[in-house]
Amino acid sequence: MPAMPLRGAGFDMGIWLLQRSRAEAIKMKTVVRISCGILILWSLVVPSFAQRDMDCSDFRTQREAQDFYERSGPGDPHRLDRDGDGVACETLP
């Protein structure tokens, strides 16, 4: 008696699940690669996240500190504007 080919709902479902999991793995790999690319680009576009904490003593002039303060984005992540008036390192020349 010749071997019967494997058929039936259970076998077909198994192949479908195997194919689906491969497709899902490819999708997940693509999502991870895109996410990594976005994070790398974000770190280049928003340099304040990649830089060390800056203090007023790191700048020679108030204008230099102000420029950095304005490029750092919203808020005052480096605490250069102690009194919150929008002017960074007011004691520098």
pTM assigned to the model: 0.46
The answer to whether residues 92 and 61 touch, using CB atoms and an 8 Å cutoff, is: yes
The answer to whether residues 80 and 88 touch, using CB atoms and an 8 Å cutoff, is: yes
Q: What is the pLDDT of residues 14-67, one digit of tens each?
A: 565 566 677 777 887 888 889 888 888 777 766 554 567 899 999 999 999 999
Residues 6+ apart with CB under 8 A from 83: 90
